[in-house]
Amino acid sequence: MSATSGRDPAVPTIPHYKLPWSKSFTAPAGSPGHRRLAWPPVIAALAVATVGVVIMLPGKPLPTGAPIAERSFRIDQQPGGVISMLDAKTGAPLLTLEKDGDGFMRGVLHSIALQRATMHISQETPLELAATAGGRLLLSDPPTRTKIDLEAFGSANEAAFARLLPGPVKEAFR
């Protein structure tokens, strides 16, 4: 131990980091200690956390109402990034997503496919899309017990999935 400092010189020191509310963040703009907080990453992290909470809330009942239209469909991933959605009963094509379009739908379907793969569930099992009398559009994956209230992601993203529903109901979500 050093007689002057009172600490052992062989023990490494831990650097002090300034916290967001420390003087360096509150110093006047232009002064030597001034730093700006990077807001875009903070806002992006909050948005991701909010979406995660909305999707992953277990046991929270979704306000549904009686279903007025339902559609079961399978996902067929083709070479080149094209995704086809086929009617589960007839096998008829419902919608084809090209490689560069429909980012929200592609993201949701990809996350469900990933969840199925980690749980060793067949990709052939159909997804269920239901429009309710309460004006909600719900996407569910029965084998994984995933239920997504598409209204939470905005009307444009909800309308993207509504394209899979029969004509009169589809128009209600535009």
For residue 11, the tally of other CB atoms under 10 A from its CB is 8
Q: How many CB atoms lie within 10 A of CB 39?
A: 8
CA-atom Rg of the chain in angstroms: 25
- Is the dihedral angle over the CA atoms 60, 63, 66, 70 positive or is it negative? negative
pLDDT digits (tens, 9 = 90+) for 5-61: 666 777 666 555 555 555 544 555 666 655 666 677 778 888 888 877 766 665 555
Q: What is the pLDDT of residue 174?
A: 61
Whole-model pTM? 0.59
Q: What is the pLDDT of residues 95-146, one digit of tens each?
A: 888 887 778 888 888 888 888 888 888 888 899 998 887 778 888 988 888 8
Q: What is the predicted pLDDT for the residue at 22?
A: 52
Q: Output the pLDDT for position 68.
A: 79
Tell me what percent of the residues of the chain surpass a pLDDT of 70: 68
**50 vs 81: CA distance, rounded Å:** 28
Question: What burial class does residue 127 get, using C-beta atoms within 10 Å of its C-beta: 0-12 exposed, 13-18 middle, 19+ buried?
Answer: buried
Residue owning tokens 């509310």: 21
pLDDT at 63: 55
Is the distance from CB of 73 to CB of 129 less than 8 angstroms?
yes
User: Which pLDDT value is given to residue 106?
Assistant: 85
Quickly state the pLDDT bin for 173 (edges 50, 70, 90).
Answer: low
User: Which one has a higher pLDDT value, 39 or 75?
Assistant: 75
Q: How far apart (Å, rounded) are the C-alpha atoms in residues 133 and 124?
A: 29
Count of beta carbons in the 10 Å neighbourhood of residue 148: 21
Phi then psi for residue 33, to 5 deg, are -95, 5
23 DSSP assignment: H
Residue 12 has a pLDDT of 64
User: Which pLDDT band, with edges at 50, 70 and 90, does 69 fall under?
Assistant: confident
- What pLDDT is stored for residue 170 in this prediction? 60
